[in-house]
Structures are given as structure tokens and as C-alpha cells.
A and B are shown apart, each in its own frame.
Chain A
């Protein structure tokens, strides 16, 4: 069997087309070098199926295989699924740690300690006012100062507790905003469902929808900073993914279902330990056992100690009627107030005559009481400080681990300009050379067609 005259033209054409496509891919990479979640693509070039020459094609009399140029086998994306899993685990940790650190830092700011205007200073002024009253038990200004100091102290404790409660509400609000019908979780779930459809149909056609896969991975990355994400490929629809979110057994997006019916009933029910930002928000908003609830309980203990110790001294061990502070048991920090029955004139400095000051001395001595209000408040502040320091430390660790995984992922998937420039030159040269082959073939045929067999003409 003889070889077609035009085989060379065909080979050159394949070369031209393949090089051009490879150039297109490099252009696509360069254009998307800054696109979040993009993974670099490459054209996989393979030699085209050889032409089988029958026996006698070569000197030995055997057949041979003649190359027919190049083909593009596939356009692939550079992606390491294992790194994606690691990245999502770290993103979940980081989402949790940074949310905690940010909200707890606000709690710390509300304390404004150590300073001259925090609650510690309020407690000192209160004790000092009793000291001054002990010096001048009959002085109306000293009584007024004391009563104002007591009201300020009670208001300071209530305000601090109110700020901590407001942070709990803020966490609950943030959580319901994220999970709301216009929140990021819903829009991500909606988009994931439609991406599943597109990817499944492309996969059915044997195509590799690289850019759609990148987009889906990016959405999964974003979701994993909000809560734990796990994915399983759908067996019914190759290409589609079933997404489980926040430790829930019901999928957020069901890979087996087409259209928006794949999205879970809204709002989705999360597991008891959803992880990520939503997990942190849930624990901060928890009024029973969360870190903010525990700080509020500590503050209530401070208030309760203050109320009982001062009232005990003020009523001379319960032998006299009337209390200085009133508060609701179990919720002292939110309810502490100067008892409305206390007046400037009626304020007691002592149990005896006008100049007696035994009560004032007893209350003033409470400042040094072991495990008294001042001590407990100091411990409370130190506890807030170490809670915030731990959260910030956790954030730094999660951030650096996440950065390390992301750097490894970028190392696999990121676009390198130098690499793409080199590819451009390589494929441009390949294109030019293929064109030269075409010209050479053309010249050859020109000789054959136009200048052969014209002897004597």
C-alpha cells in the first residue's frame, strides 16, 4: 500500500491545531492567574495513531508504523484532592479560632482593665468611700459620695454583664444571618446544586469541565471555614457530589438529585458540634455552657460575693434591718443595685451614736477579705485575659497551618508566569515549525503538480 500524497499536509495541520490549542490553554492560565480557586490547566499532547504500512514497506520486507502527527488527548487541571481535604480541615479550625478570638477580644475590651476607669477602680473607690465615711461618720458629703460610688459600682457591674450578654446575642444573630435564606450558606448550596448538574452532564459527555470543578472546589473551601464539610461522589450521577455540612446526617446538597430539589430544606439542621465559624458562634451564643456564659457566671459570683459580704457587714451580721445592695439570686451581675430604701440621711456608718463607725470600718475592711469581691474580680479579669490569649494563640496556629497547606496547594495548582511564558515560546515555535512543514509540503506538491511532466512544453 502506498502512502497518500497529502499525508504530510494532514500531519502538519494536526501540529498547527494542537500547538494553537496549547497556546490557547496557556493564554487561559495567564488570564486566570489571579482568579481565586483556579487551578492551572495543561493540554496533554499525544502522538496521533500511526498509519500501518503493510509488509514490504521497509527493506527487511516487514510492515511499519508511520507517525501521523500530534493530537490533544485531554485538557487537565493540576489538582491534589488530598491537599484539598487538608486545607478544608484547617479552614474549619481557622474559622472556629478566629471567630472566638474576635468576639472574646470584644469582651476583653469591655473590661478596660488594667486602667483607672475599670470595675477594679470602681471597687477601690467604693471601699475608699467607706474608709472616708469611717473618718467622718456624720458628714453628708461623705455619705453622698459613698452612695454615688455604690450606684456607680452596681451600674458598672450591670453594664459589663450587659455587654457580655450583647456579645452572646451578636453571636446568635451572626449565626442566623449566615444560615438565613439570603446568607452565604444558602447561596453556596444553590450554586453547588446547579454546578453538580452541569458537571454531571459534562462528565456524561466524556468532557472534563475544569473551570466548573474549580468553582465547586472554591465553594466547598468557603463552606468549610463556616462548618465541617464532607463530600462523597454520587454513584447514580458520575461527577456530582453529595455535600454533608456541619455534622448533619441530611445532605446540604444531594448529588443524586437534579435541580434545586437537591438543596436541603431550609434552614438546614446542623449537628451538635458543627465546627468552623458556625460552631464557634453556637458555643459563644450558648447561654448555658459557652465561654461567654461561663464568664458571666464568674461575674455573677463576684457580684454575689459583694452583695452578701457588704450587706452582712452593713446589717451588723443580720441583726439590723435594711440592706445596702439588692440583687436577684442566681443572676446577681445583671440585677445588682443599691437598695431603693437606702437614703443619704439613712445610710448607717455605725451601730451606736452619731459618731460611731463600726459598720463603716467593717465594710471598708472587706477590701482585704480573702476570696472577697476584689480578689474574685482580679481572678475574673485574669481569666478573661487567658481565654482571649488562648483564642488568639489558637488563631495564630490555625492560620500558619492553613497557610502551609495552602502554599502546598498553590505549589500544585497555582499559575506560574515564568512557566506560562516558557510554554508560550515553546508552542509558538511549534506552531511556526508546523507551518514551515506545511510550506515545505506545499513546495513539494508544487513541484509535483506544476513542474512535473512538462518536458518539451
Chain B
């Protein structure tokens, strides 16, 4: 007998961001837009970077996440994990300091009880202050994980991160790290999942989630997930494949490998906000003839809820 019916799924989105410019430096967005402009002008479309920027920023006006909460409800997403990527060391045009960004996320957590978890991100080059901020985020702010953005210029196995992983082990919280391409203003050479291997081996009690593992370095990510008990992946970024593969074949492929106890649903909101709402992305995956149609209800439950739930519920930090 199936454990739950599909319509009863309580979906957890493990990969979300606050849609507000203050958390993302202008240079990061400009880099991403430069790629869009290149694609559009090659097709003869009359467009400028400024025009695209205006359009993109119009989708980044939800600093308190009221809009996101409404979209989540519409999509059947009961909880989202907000990730703070720390660009403040690598990119010098950030509006907020990383500490201010943490406080803004704390406000959102308090404003929408039960709707969010937060994984705080700190660039390890901030030294002791950064480490102290991260620990406070667990013990005072109610955050439940660490977010790392290696393309800012560091390896996830860099020794300076080990004190962070020791805190993660102590407080039983997971680490989610960006994998694969990003804004061209950052360093792609640090985006390989294999760079995590040493840390994953040395910190077996810390769980690591390879963000975008269903669409970037897929073979490497699945190998890590299959053979490292503490490594997981999320499927966020699959939206980028829907243009050339509307049936989401990338998701069908990743979920047919017998690894569904390691796969987490994620959307990377608001990155694909020009392409659709949360509901449309969930519907694409849940469609009767969609990429998950061969899975049983237990497997779907793992991907959409239980895997994420399992990783955050062990946290021994303060309640939000």
C-alpha cells in the first residue's frame, strides 16, 4: 500500500533565495544578464543590458518574502529553505554586509513562522568574525545550515572551512554548496563537486548537499552521492533545461538511478522567475506523464519532503 497519495505531499523546497537586490550584488546580476544579452542579440532581438536589468530587477522586489509565501501556497510548497550566499568578500558592490544580510533573513524567519528555514553563508576568508557570525546564526538566529559559494574563490575542502564543518557536526546541521556554472564575474574552476571530496571524507558526520547536481557535473555528483554516505544533491536549476527539453528529461534521468534517498527538490527561486511561477515548475514535475511518473509514492515523498526534513530536523540549535 502506498504511504501517501500524491495530492497529500507537503513539499519542501530546499533551494530558495530572497528576491531582493540587496542580497545580490549588481555585478553578479550584470554578469548573468550579459549571457542573456549575448543569446538574444545573436537571434537579432533588439535588446540592451539596461533593459534586461530593469526587467530582472522588477522580479526582485520581495524583501520580506510575502510574494514568495503566496507562490509557495499556490504550488503546494509548505516550507522553503532560504540560502544566503556570501558574495561580500569576492564582489565589492554588495549593498549589505554579510551580518546585515543575516539579520534581514532572521526578520523574514520571524515574519513567516514555520514557512522557512535559513542556511547562512559565510566566505571563510572573513576569518574569526565570519565563524562567530555563523555560530551565532545557529545558536541565536534559528538558522539550520551552512551555505557555501565556492566560485567566490575557495575550495569546499579548504582548511579554513574546517572550523565551520566542526560547528556543523556539533550542531547537526547540513552544508549546501553551489556546483557548476554561475555568473561570469566569478571563478568556475571552484565549481566542481570533486573539490568537496576531501571535506566529505574528513567530516563523515556532516551532510553535504550538491546544489544543481541534477544539471551540472551530473556524473560526478551521482558518483559522490552513491559512494559518500553523507553527500546529497538537489535538482534546482532543472528549469534551465526546459527550453530544449520540456519533459524535464534531466530529472527523469537523475531519479532513475536508485539514488532517490539522496535527491532533494529545489527551485532556486527567484532565478527562473521570468520563466514561470513555483506552481508551474511543480506541475511540470508532478504531471501524470512527467519525469517522475515511473516513481512510486514513497520515492516521490523522499524527494519532495523526507530527505530535506531528515537533514534539517537533527539540528540542535535554537528554535526559529
A binds B: no
